[in-house]
């Protein structure tokens, strides 16, 4: 169980992606050390309504650069080697349209 007194949220960024939402949260410890949590949240329907299924990754400052490098290399590999003919800009513009629509409703 997490002790929320030890963790102060410093910055948060939400990314809506279809039926999923990703949260990138920077948190601080009491010792003013910082780390990142990446949370994937999916809405799941059941007999009594819905719940949110969440998966969380903790990323510590000493691993930031290695993580970013590996993520970037992996995405580039998919884009250039596995799906070179796919137009990823269509996804970006569709996601931007969805975000703008969400903004109008908030």
Q: What is the pLDDT along the chain (106 residues), one digit of tens a residue?
A: 455 555 678 999 999 988 899 999 999 988 889 999 999 999 888 888 888 899 999 999 999 999 999 999 999 999 999 999 999 887 665 555 555 555 444 4
Q: How many domains does the chain have?
A: 1
Q: What's residue 38's pLDDT?
A: 97
| Distance in angstroms (rounded) separating the CA atoms of residues 21 and 102 | 12
| Distance in angstroms (rounded) separating the CA atoms of residues 99 and 41 | 16
Can you give the residue range of the structural domain that contains 26? 4-105
For the chain, list the strands marked E by DSSP.
8-17, 20-28, 34-46, 49-60
| Distance in angstroms (rounded) separating the CA atoms of residues 41 and 15 | 10
**Which two structure tokens, joined as six digits, stand for 82?**
């596995």
DSSP-derived secondary structure letter, 33: -
H or E element at residue 66: helix 64-77
CATH number of the domain encompassing residue 27: 3.10.450.700
3-state secondary structure of 28: strand
- Angle (CA) 80-76-97 rounded to 5° is 95
């Amino acid at each position: 169980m997490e002790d929320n007194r030890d963790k102060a949220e410093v910055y948060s960024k939400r990314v809506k992606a279809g039926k999923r939402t990703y949260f990138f949260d920077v948190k601080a410890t009491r010792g003013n050390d910082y780390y990142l949590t990446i949370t994937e949240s999916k809405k799941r329907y059941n007999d009594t309504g819905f719940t949110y299924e969440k998966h969380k990754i903790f990323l510590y400052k000493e691993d930031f650069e290695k993580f970013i490098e590996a993520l970037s290399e992996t995405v580039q590999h998919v884009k250039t080697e596995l799906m070179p003919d796919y137009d990823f800009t269509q996804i970006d513009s569709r996601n931007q349209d969805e975000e703008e629509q969400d903004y109008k409703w908030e």
